[in-house]
Amino acid sequence: MSELGLESKVIPIKRGHKAAQRRLIYTNRHKLVELPSNVSWLFKTKPPFTKPLLAAVAKEPFIKAEPEGRDESVHQFISRRFGAEVAHWLINPMCRGIFAGDSKRLSLKSCFPLLHGYEQKHGSIIKGMLRGSDEKCDADSNELVIKSKEEKWMIYTLENGLQTLTDTLKTEAERLGVLIRTNTPATSISFGANNKAIIKTNGQEYNADHVIATISAQQLAKILPTNQSKLCSSLSSIPLVDVAVVNVEFEGGAVPKQWREAFGYLVPSHQKSDILGTVFDSATFPELNRKEAIPTTRLTVMMGGEWFQELFGDPETIRSSTLSDIALKSLHTQLGISSDPLDCIATIQKSCIPQYTVGHSQRLDVINDCIKDLPISLLGASYNGVSVNDCIANSLLEVKKILN
């Protein structure tokens, strides 16, 4: 951000922001309920929990750590260390919100490496959190990073949205002489005897000293040479899920008043629902609201993920209008919104989020062993983190490695 001159364009949500503090889940029995947000909640019994969380937290430091080499699902790990209720009501919806995935299939070691590290290094999550991390990185001295830590940023966006980042990156790269070819998919990548990479597109061929592949692992497997069968098999085994995103705008304050300043809500997979959750964009980033006199409510409804085909069928054939209707019906059921929207746009993001299922780290070991002598680096969301921040950080580390 700093190198691109975007510091003044950053819009952060700080820890004290009401939307950052108020996160909800939807339950069929209790409707919307607020999740614990501070220490005082440990001593209370509030739905959907049947007892105070203090007991689970107090027991955790005394639970034996698992052997280092063992991988387990996020659900298994949290159930083992904090109990079934925490796994069901906190972690299950969290995994749906982050990965659009099933906590019973996702790998703890790969999806939440920090928690895995706490158990291995300190024998406990609580002990690890109290002791913190002593790891430093080059960015720690950056003024924007220092500011974000001092002000306790939770999340951020940019004026006019995150596309500002990619647009600025493109402009800066071209200014530095980088040739960018859009709408030019690679049809094959092969490796010559001189340790060069040969990339073919429709009608052209490029010889490269090194290739950085950021397409999904499954896409990459389809264009690698047949003599890389072991590599292709491992790449193909990293699943992807489809997610529908429905952006809705209503006139006035459509969300019930008591929840109007919340971040939004997620729905656990064991509750009956056609959606994963909803973000209250108007509350989260009011800076991006319309400037007109009449206020509106902006919502983003997330749908599908691991459950897309089960709920909606083939993403290639489902109509956007059908998804919009399902989203509006869910908002009526879960938030009581019955008015017609000012605008409603449904987008299907096909094969958009990789799923780090149990055994993901072993698959990465095989992949890294296969490419160690090849002029190719693998980046993007398929390997070591699905978030934008993860992808940027991993790219920086890999480029430094290549240059060195």
pLDDT tens digit string along 297-306? 999 999 999 9
Across 10-24, 140-154, 247-261, the highest mean pLDDT is recorded for 247-261
- Render pLDDT for 1-57 as a digit per residue (tens, 0 to 9): 888 999 999 999 988 888 888 999 999 988 999 998 888 889 999 999 999 999 999
Q: Can you name the CATH fold of 181-238+356-403?
A: FAD/NAD(P)-binding domain (3.50.50)
Q: What is the total residue count of the chain? A: 404
Q: Can you name the CATH fold of 18-131?
A: protoporphyrinogen ix oxidase, domain 3 (1.10.3110)
pLDDT at 26: 98
pLDDT of residue 193 exceeding 90, the answer is no
pLDDT of residue 132 exceeding 80, the answer is no
Q: What is the DSSP string of 60-126?
A: GGGSPPPPTT---BHHHHHHHHH-HHHIIIIIHHHHHHHHSS-TTTBBHHHH-HHHHHHHHHHSSHH
Asked if 141 and 269 touch (Cβ cutoff 8 Å), the reply is no
**From CA 256, how far away is CA 176, in angstroms rounded?**
50
pLDDT at 1: 87
How large is the average pLDDT for residues 101-110? 99
pLDDT of residue 140 exceeding 70, the answer is no
Strand order in the sheet with 240-251: 31-34, 23-27, 264-266, 277-280, 296-305, 240-251, 343-354
Query: What is the chain's percent helix, strand, coil content, to nearest 5?
Result: 40, 20, 35
> Which band of pLDDT confidence, cut at 50, 70 and 90, is reported for residue 376?
very high
Q: Is 24 helix (H, G, I), strand (E, B) or coil?
A: strand
Q: Which amino acid is at 234?
A: S
Asked if 378 and 220 touch (Cβ cutoff 8 Å), the reply is yes
CA 92 to chain centre: 14
Please calculate the CA angle 65-68-69 and round it to the nearest 5 degrees: 135
pLDDT at 373: 95
What tokens appear for 102 in the block? Answer: 């099933």
How large is the average pLDDT for residues 199-210? 94
- Residue 249: partners with Cβ closer than 8 Å, 6 or more residues away: 296, 297, 298, 299, 341, 342, 343, 344
pLDDT of residue 363 exceeding 90, the answer is yes
Closest CA to 361 of 143, 50, 119, 113: 113
> Which band of pLDDT confidence, cut at 50, 70 and 90, is reported for residue 135?
low
- DSSP letter (8 states) at residue 358: T
Asked if 241 and 304 touch (Cβ cutoff 8 Å), the reply is yes
In order of 68, 91, 250, 354, the CA distances from 118 in angstroms are 11, 17, 44, 24
The H or E element that residue 343 is part of is strand 343-354
**From CA 168, how far away is CA 174, in angstroms rounded?**
10
Asked if 231 and 224 touch (Cβ cutoff 8 Å), the reply is yes
pLDDT at 360: 98
More reliable by pLDDT, 70 or 344: 344
Q: Is 22 helix (H, G, I), strand (E, B) or coil?
A: coil
pLDDT at 99: 98
**From CA 375, how far away is CA 340, in angstroms rounded?**
55
> Considering the entire predicted model, what is its pTM?
0.94
**From CA 100, how far away is CA 103, in angstroms rounded?**
10
pLDDT of residue 133 exceeding 70, the answer is no
Question: Where are the chain's structural domains?
Answer: 7-14+137-158, 18-131, 181-238+356-403, 240-354
Cis ω for the linkage preceding 48 (within 30 of 0): yes
- DSSP letter (8 states) at residue 138: G
pLDDT at 404: 86
> Which band of pLDDT confidence, cut at 50, 70 and 90, is reported for residue 337?
very high
For 240-354, which CATH superfamily applies? Protoporphyrinogen oxidase, mitochondrial; domain 2 (3.90.660.20)
Closest CA to 169 of 153, 184, 160, 180: 180
